[in-house]
Amino acid sequence: AQKVTQAQTEISVVEKEDVTLDCVYETRDTTYYLFWYKQPPSGELVFLIRRNSFDEQNEISGRYSWNFQKSTSSFNFTITASQVVDSAVYFCALSERSSSNTGKLIFGQGTTLQVKP
């Protein structure tokens, strides 16, 4: 069965600290996508990244970086030098090919990140 687990419910850091948000997934598919979304207080989900299951190369985008490891079924997200504007709920999600090609997203519970000034 497919499942996404974000074990960290809430994280609180002080501005400029680095922080890593964990994501562990379960799937029987060999072809799938992994996603990270940010949900600021306004409520709208903002797309951050999509990772194909065949591409394990880590990615960096500014202060954001992602570490995809198939061996441990993890897709962790690191924010370097965190800022107050990073405060939000972050969701990890999985989309499998075998879901009848629906593109259905399976979301984790979310991690609430609070960055204090």
Partner 1 sequence: DGGITQSPKYLFRKEGQNVTLSCEQNLNHDAMYWYRQDPGQGLRLIYYSQIVNDFQKGDIAEGYSVSREKKESFPLTVTSAQKNPTAFYLCASGAQREGLVNEQFFGPGTRLTVL
List residues binding partner 1 (CB under 8 A).
4, 9, 31-33, 35, 37, 42-47, 50, 91, 95, 97, 101-105, 107-110
We find the least distance from the C-beta atom of residue 106 to partner 1, in angstroms, to be 8
Amino acid code (one letter) for 71: S
Q: Which is nearer to partner 1, 46 or 84 (CB)?
A: 46
Tell me the two tokens of residue 35.
């996603």
Selection from 73, 85, 67, 74 nearest residue 15 by Cα: 85
Selection from 88, 33, 44, 40 nearest residue 66 by Cα: 33
Q: Which is nearer to partner 1, 101 or 117 (CB)?
A: 101
Tell me the two tokens of residue 14.
């002080």
Q: Which is nearer to partner 1, 15 or 74 (CB)?
A: 74
We find the least distance from the C-beta atom of residue 51 to partner 1, in angstroms, to be 11
